[in-house]
Chains A and B, each alone.
Chain A
Amino acid sequence: MNTDPLAQALGRAAGASCSASLRSMGTELLCTVDSGSLLDVVKALVDLPQYHHLSTITGVLGEGGVRVLYHFWLGAGLTLEVLCPAPSAALPSLVPLLPAADWYEREVHEMFGVQFVGHPHLVSLFLPDDWTEGPPMLAREEP
């Protein structure tokens, strides 16, 4: 898959710092963004002529907290990676920009405890109403 035009477009749209962190992830691209500039980068992406949709948002448990991955499809796959230092740390919500983010942010919130500031209805999506054990993906196995 030829992702060069996408890399150039991302460089133009989101600035040099973002395109500098661009690297390949299998057949697709990955780019690290700091939480402060996430909304600007996403806005730039959404305005690109080849923008298609936000596929999903993945939470991944990392060494220093939770990595939140935003998987986009723009004729080629692009993932934005945002590092969330503590599980309960806050990220800006994409919902005002992109309604598609609604349920995906709710899922990352309930499974990893990440707060999305500006989300209109940040409640559980899959877990039962009486779930009290905290975000299940953070739970570690008993030794």
Chain B
Amino acid sequence: MRKTTIPIGPQHPLLKEPLSFTLEAVGETIVSASLRIGYVHRGIERLSQERNYAQNVHLFERVCGICSHAHTTCFCQAVETLLGVEIPARGAHIRLIMCELERIHSHLLWLGVLAESIGFTTVFMYAWRDREIILDVMEALSGGRVSHAANVIGGARVDISAEQAHDVEQKLADFATRLPMFEELLTRDRSFRARTQGLGVMTEAMVHEMGIVGPAARASGCTLDMRLQAPYGAYPSYDLTVITESAGDVWSRSQVRLLEMQQSLALCRQAMRNLPEGPPSVRVPRRVPAGEVVARIEAPRGELVYYVQSDGSETPARVKVRTPTLPTLMALVQLLPGVETADVAAVIAGADLCIACADR
């Protein structure tokens, strides 16, 4: 039978960000897939060598429009290790609250994109409607919906007043009433299960071979979560469990994310109530002692890695960013062969890609 080539991207209604798939199909079945990325490569790592450390916090915030706070947290953590600075407990708690809020809104964003890709527009609408509550909270705390600028080297730029904490608690209590509906939908809805179960299966072997991290790895039975394996910031003060599933399909990934949202919400509310007294940040010197360091945190999509090298000046000698989408993208090319053309959108959306993150 004749092969048909289907180009998807770099600009395509299926994709939220630019990347380019070239799929070959025989009949309705994909038989091979290749991928070209780099359409939003901005040379951020090279540019960081021209900026001082304080400016770089804002530069790395712009690597990603979804997990922007995760990037600044990881970069600040790396620089603080080089400086030998321990940030105040209050600042560490504010970072944790923002990180967990970001995880919830990122997971809801993913759910909406996935639902839309399988034609379940109602869930897309509900997920993005309720995501607004979280974005409102993040805006109330930091002043920004996308770029929060909540971190500085040495702690948190923003502080949370008692009045703000009260408002946030009310909004989060409201949000908590929305989650059971998603649980009902994702766990029991027949059409959602029919479109996602058995689809885009990442095996545990594939996870190890490709170095896949985050909810995608945990949905395949892997217990990797940097918040537990390398506890940082305020995380050691809280009880967390690793949420895993075993099937490795798109449905399992939705279950992992659902439970993670519940855990993140509980963690946020607990941290808001336990906010320690004191300043949110400490002042740090502009010059960073020579040395090199690797920092790892658990971003919404998994392990985020920053390598920072300092030559003792005000600007870093080298910064390297590895975002969790990169290994997922490598694996995605292997997931597509064998998939029906009607399911391609769900496999791509189900991988939870962030292309701006991957391209830098």
| Those of A77-123 within 8 Å (CB) of chain B | 77, 79, 98-100, 102-104
**B324 and chain A: residue at smallest CB distance:** A55
Assess the B211–A54 pair: CB atoms within 8 A.
yes
Q: Tell whether B359 is near chain A: CB-to-CB under 8 Å.
A: yes
Closest to B43 in A: A136
B295 within 8 A of A: yes
**8 Å CB contact of A56 from B46, B292, B320:** B320
Chain A CB count within 10 A is highest, among B82, B322, B329, for B322
B264-316 contacts to A, CB under 8 A, are 291-296, 303, 305, 307, 309
Given contacts A26-B293, A100-B330, A125-B37, 18 further A-B contacts (CB under 8 A): A27-B230, A52-B224, A55-B303, A56-B307, A56-B322, A58-B318, A60-B317, A71-B307, A73-B303, A75-B229, A77-B296, A99-B209, A99-B210, A100-B209, A100-B210, A104-B326, A126-B41, A126-B359
Contacts of A102 in B (CB 8 A): 330
Shortest beta-carbon contacts, A-B, top 3? A26-B293, A56-B322, A53-B211
| Interface size range on B against A | 35 or more
> Looking at the complex, which one of A25, A98, A136 makes contact with B294 (CB distance below 8 Å)?
A25
Please state if B41 and A28 are interface contacts (CB–CB under 8 Å): no
1/0 per position for B209-231, CB-CB distance to A under 8 A? Answer: 11111000000000010000110
Question: Which residues from chain B contact A52 at a C-beta distance below 8 Å?
Answer: 208, 224
Kindly provide the distance from the CB of B252 to the nearest chain A CB, expressed in whole angstroms: 19
Q: Is A35 an interface residue when CB atoms closer than 8 A count as contact?
A: no
Q: In whole angstroms, what is the CA distance A25 to B81 when docked?
A: 10
Query: Is the CB–CB distance between A79 and B294 below 8 Å?
Result: yes
In the complex, A39 Cα to B160 Cα: how many Å? 51
Question: Which of B37, B295, B318 has its CB near the most chain A CB atoms (within 10 A)?
Answer: B318
B296 touches A73 (CB 8 A): yes
- Which residues from chain A contact B43 at a C-beta distance below 8 Å? 136
List of A residues within 8 angstroms of B230 by Cβ: 1, 27, 76-77
> By the criterion CB–CB under 8 Å, are B38 and A124 in contact?
yes
Q: Sort chain A's interface into a size bin.
A: 20 to 34
Instruction: Write the chain B residue with the least CB distance to A131.
Output: B38
For the complex, what is the distance from the CA of A5 to the CA of B34, rounded to whole Å?
A: 41
Taken residue by residue from 17 to 52, chain A's Cβ proximity to chain B (1 for < 8 Å, 0 otherwise) reads as 000000001111010000000000000000000001
| Contact present for A55 and B229 (CB under 8 Å) | no
* Residue among B229, B230, B294 with most chain A CB within 10 A: B294
Cβ contacts A to B, 27 pairs, < 8 Å: A25-B292, A25-B293, A25-B294, A26-B78, A26-B291, A26-B295, A27-B81, A28-B293, A28-B294, A30-B292, A52-B224, A55-B303, A55-B305, A56-B320, A60-B320, A71-B294, A71-B305, A71-B322, A76-B230, A79-B294, A99-B209, A100-B210, A100-B330, A103-B329, A124-B38, A126-B41, A126-B359
B18 at the interface (CB under 8 A from A): no
Say which residue of B38, B208, B303, B329 sits within 8 Å of A127 (CB atoms). Answer: B38
Q: Does A16 contact B (CB under 8 A)?
A: no
**Complex Cα spacing A125 to B329, Å:** 12
Q: Once the chains are docked, how many angstroms separate the CA of A26 from the CA of B81?
A: 6
Min CB distance B105 to A, Å, is 25
Contacts of B359 in A (CB 8 A): 126
Complex Cα–Cα for A136 and B296 (A): 26
User: Can you name the residue of chain B whose Cβ is closest to the Cβ of A100?
Assistant: B211
A28 to B38, CA, bound (A): 30
**Does B327 sit at the interface, judged by CB under 8 A?**
yes
Closest to B82 in A: A26
Closest A residue to B321 by beta carbon equals A56
- Report the bound CA distance from A137 to B41 in whole Å: 14
In the complex formed, the residue of B with least CB distance to A102 is: B330
Query: Which residues of B sit under 8 angstroms from A27, Cβ to Cβ?
Result: 81, 230, 293
Looking across the interface, which residue of chain A has its beta carbon closest to that of B208?
A: A53
Residue of B nearest to A55 (CB): B305
Point out the residues of chain A lying under 8 angstroms from B327, CB to CB. Answer: 53, 100
Q: Which residues of A contact B291 (CB under 8 A)?
A: 25-26
Contact status A77-B209, CB under 8 Å: no
- A69 and B307 in contact (CB under 8 A), knowing A1-B230, A26-B295, A60-B318? yes
Residue numbers in A under 8 Å from B305 (CB-CB): 55-56, 71
- Expressed in whole angstroms, the Cα–Cα distance for A14 and B82 within the complex equals 28
